[in-house]
């Protein structure tokens, strides 16, 4: 593994089908950091169990909610946090329709070197584990953010390419893209993940994903520092050719909100036009 820290933050809507996104993001992190296969397998299993507990228990009556997964790899240690903002840790009776926490949490404890479950001051439940080293991770204080559209990923350093490529591929599969159309999305994802991290706020490559309607994949990339969004647009130009990878998308635009500048990209399953707009036009 690399000697410098590599961090991943992934937020997903609290739905069971999003567990595949979590597992693929962690697989990309493992590839990027040279994590051994056994540790990566344990890490993905722990994340799956912790996220499923949040899906089943945190947000009752099918209410919308957020699950946030954070992973950090540094100097041989792997730490993982799975957090929700739901009703809190409430063990159920053993006969509660097979949805008791009695299976998930003991399995997590058996796989982790260090394991904690606690209730943050601003609500919900957080599960923290450590693989490979002793000691507890420092508490991370969170406000209670809104649920993501579908998924949000922010990743530092060399892990960006592997993480974003895997997340993009599974998101495109869920939308129903053909292999050719999926390749278009992966090419655009490669441009995003290979862009200078210094152009992103906090030097984290950030991508938010959504499926606003059937057959359409929506991405919001950023936030950027001043001028960073425009430099990403320029990065899409193919050197020596009068062609931009932005033409693979149905829409590309630079938009601004209170967080900063973002590049918004839309790809449809049945791509016809290749218009490029800037500043929301």
Quick: pLDDT tens for 20-70.
Answer: 999 999 999 988 888 888 889 899 999 998 998 888 888 877 778 999 999
**What value, to the nearest 5°, has the Cα angle with vertex 239 and ends 157 and 220?**
45
Q: Tell me what pLDDT residue 141 has.
A: 46
Lowest pLDDT segment from 20-24, 167-171, 275-279: 275-279
Instruction: Indicate the DSSP class of residue 171.
Output: H
| pLDDT 10s digits, 175-204 | 899 988 988 988 899 999 888 989 998 888
Which residue has tokens 């344990």? Answer: 42
Tell me: pLDDT of 138 over 60.
no
More confident residue, 99 or 173: 173
One fold for 6-131 and 151-268: yes
**Quick one: CATH architecture of 6-131?**
2-Layer Sandwich (3.30)
Query: In whole angstroms, what is the distance from residue 47 CA to residue 16 CA?
Result: 12
Query: In whole angstroms, what is the distance from residue 63 CA to residue 215 CA?
Result: 25
% of the chain exceeding 70 in pLDDT: 82
Instruction: Indicate the DSSP class of residue 88.
Output: -
Q: Tell me what pLDDT residue 120 has.
A: 83
The domain ranges of the chain are: 6-131, 151-268
CATH of 151-268, one of 3.30.565.10, 1.10.287.1080, 3.40.50.720, 3.40.50.970: 3.30.565.10
- Half-sphere exposure at residue 13, Cβ-oriented, CA atoms within 13 angstroms: 12
Q: Tell me what pLDDT residue 148 has.
A: 62
Q: Tell me what pLDDT residue 271 has.
A: 74
Q: How confident is the model at residue 1 (pLDDT cuts 50, 70, 90)?
A: very low
Instruction: Indicate the DSSP class of residue 23.
Output: H
Residue pair 221/262 in contact (Cβ under 8 Å)? The answer is yes
């Amino acid at each position: 593994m690399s000697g410098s820290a590599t961090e991943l933050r992934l937020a997903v809507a609290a739905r069971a089908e999003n567990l595949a996104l979590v597992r693929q993001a962690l697989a990309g992190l493992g590839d990027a950091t040279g994590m051994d296969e056994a540790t990566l397998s344990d890490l993905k299993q722990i994340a799956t169990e912790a996220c499923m507990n949040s899906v089943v228990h945190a947000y009752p009556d099918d209410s919308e909610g957020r699950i946030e997964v954070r992973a950090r790899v540094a100097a041989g240690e792997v730490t993982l946090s799975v957090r929700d903002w739901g009703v809190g840790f409430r063990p159920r009776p053993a006969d509660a329709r097979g949805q008791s926490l009695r299976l998930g949490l003991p399995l997590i404890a058996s796989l982790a070197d260090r394991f904690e479950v606690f209730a943050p001051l601003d609500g919900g439940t957080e599960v923290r584990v450590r693989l490979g080293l002793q000691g507890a991770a420092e508490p991370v204080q969170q406000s209670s953010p809104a649920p993501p559209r579908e998924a949000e990923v922010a990743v530092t350093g060399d892990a960006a390419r592997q993480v974003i490529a895997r997340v993009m591929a599974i998101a495109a599969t869920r939308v129903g893209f053909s292999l050719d159309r999926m390749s278009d999305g992966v090419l655009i994802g490669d441009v995003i993940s290979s862009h200078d991290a210094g152009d992103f706020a906090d030097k984290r490559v950030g991508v938010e994903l959504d499926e606003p309607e059937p057959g359409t994949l929506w991405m919001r990339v950023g936030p950027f520092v001043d001028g960073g969004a425009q430099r990403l647009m320029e990065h899409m130009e193919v050197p020596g050719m009068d062609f931009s990878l932005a033409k693979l998308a149905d829409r590309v635009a630079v938009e601004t909100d209170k967080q900063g500048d973002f590049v918004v990209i839309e790809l449809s399953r049945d791509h016809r036009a290749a218009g490029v707009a800037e500043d929301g036009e």
